[in-house]
Chains A and B, each alone.
Chain A
């Protein structure tokens, strides 16, 4: 029955959005993680979303879910700061802070949580439709 496919499709969205929320919380958690060299500094992580074209279902083969193809590390260079008194300061007296934009992350988080809620709402509606179909002719 094709209504069950609708639930599967909504579930792929929940998966993808939860990965996105995970990376956002990782970015926010590490926003203030200082290190003594640029290589060791945390880089913001962003999931790459793509439509699951190969697993498209339905009579038209057009209904497809979404999945995360990979996690991209931010290309933004770490912010260098001169702090010779800092215990993690390098030999030249610099510390490195991750280039995480908190405002951007929170905006991202809002969008992800809205998309998550939307998919759950769709799932609930489909569930009601299936349950009503099951009582047909009772």
Chain B
């Protein structure tokens, strides 16, 4: 299994983060008219770093230490979006921005899918030993 992981590259992690981000953005769009709702999003770079286990974070050196949100390998906490125009009901969802992010996210998801697909096809070719 580990051999396959290295063959497939980072695409599986990218897809996982992208699909979680899709969920968050869908929630933002769904709550576009809910008073007081605060739009949330994740920072892709830091989410990717924590998925790859690259982020140092805090290590637990005592048994009584609590696993904090910044512990290594923990999922990235979503952040709140800063609205460009405040609204009187406290809602920070900006439809145009959420749509732009949603579309961007969907296209990048499909790009990762295409890469993953190519890798799988390459593997198949290698297994069969012929180019058909």
Contact = CB atoms under 8 A, between A and B. Distances in A.
Interface of A: 1-3, 5-7, 9-10, 12-13, 17, 20, 49-51, 57-60, 62-66, 111-112, 114-115, 118-119, 121-122, 125-126, 128-129, 132-133, 136-137
Nearest to A108: B33
22 contacts: A2-B22, A10-B26, A10-B30, A49-B35, A58-B24, A59-B75, A60-B78, A62-B24, A62-B78, A63-B24, A63-B27, A66-B31, A118-B99, A119-B30, A122-B102, A125-B102, A129-B22, A129-B106, A136-B120, A137-B117, A137-B121, A137-B124
B34 interface: yes
Given A118-B99, A122-B29, A51 B34 contact: yes
Given A60-B78, A136-B113, A137-B117, A2 B23 contact: yes
Contacts of A126: 22, 26, 106
A9 B130 CA distance: 45
Given A3-B19, A9-B27, A10-B29, A66 B117 contact: no
B20 A9 contact: no
B24 A60 contact: yes
Contacts of A115: 32-33
A111 B23 contact: no
Interface residues of B, number: 37
A69 to B, nearest CB: 11
B59 interface: no
Contact of A129 (B29, B30, B109): B109
B125 interface: no
- In terms of DSSP, what is the predominant structure of the interface of chain A? helix
B34 A49 contact: yes
A60 B77 contact: yes
B44 interface: no
B32 A6 contact: no
Contacts of A66: 30-31, 34, 37
Contacts of A121: 99
A65 B32 CA distance: 10
Given A49-B33, A65-B27, A125-B102, A136 B116 contact: yes
A51 B33 contact: no
